[in-house]
Amino acid sequence: MPNPASARDQSNWGDGYELAIEVGSTGDTQPQTLLNALWSAAGVRGCFGRRDCEPDEQEEVPCTVASLSEYGHLLGQVCLPTGQLAVCGCTAVRGGGESSDWLAFYVPTGALDTADIVYWDGRPFFRSALIDDWLAGIAVQVFEQAEFSLGVVGWMVSGSAEASILAGELPEVRDMGYLLPRDGVLRYGAAST
C-alpha cells in the first residue's frame, strides 16, 4: 500500500504545496532563525538531504542554511492535519537582483495524492482549504518566534508577491493565502478565488 511518508517512493514527490516566507536579501541572517522556527512549528521529524532512501537509512544533516545550500532541499516527515505522516521539505528560493529571497516549506503534491487529500477542483489553481489553514497556522507559530514581512500559502507560490508592493494591505481578490503583519500581529487572508 502506498505510504505518503516514504521518501524512496518517487511518486510521493513533485511540485510543492507550500508556505513561502519572504526573507529579504541574500545577505540577511534571518533565514536561519526562520528555518529553526519553521522546522519546530511544523513539527518536522528528522532533517535529511536525500530522497532516494528512507530517513532511517541515512544520517541526519544539521537543520541549517548551510545544509540547505549544500543539498538544495532539507527533507523530513510531517504529520498532516488528517493525522497522516507525509514527506515534506524546505528550499530557499533566491530572488536575485532587487527581488527578495524566500524560504519555502512544502508538502509535495505526490504525497498529498497518496494521502488522499484533494487539492484541485478544476479551478486554475490547486487549492485545499484544509492544507491552506494548516500551513497558515504554522506561519502564525513561526511569526511568534521570528517575525517576517510576508508569507504566502498555496501551490508553488514562492516569489509571487512582495511585502513592499502590498504595503501592509491584504489584496481584496486572492489567488493564494496571504500572511501579512500589521502592528506586530500576523493577519491571514485566505485565498478567495
- Averaged pLDDT, 89-94: 88
Mean pLDDT across the chain: 89
What is the rounded distance in angstroms from the CA atom of residue 177 to the CA atom of residue 131?
A: 11
Residue whose C-alpha cell is 477542483: 121
pLDDT at 26: 47
**Do the Cβ atoms of 180 and 170 come closer than 8 Å?**
yes
111-130 pLDDT tens trace: 999 999 887 666 656 788 89
> Which has more confidence, 182 or 193?
182
pLDDT at 24: 67
- With 0.85 as the threshold, say if the pTM is over it: yes
What is residue 130's three-state secondary structure?
helix
pLDDT at 98: 65
What is the rounded distance in angstroms from the CA atom of residue 116 to the CA atom of residue 110?
A: 10
- Averaged pLDDT, 77-81: 97
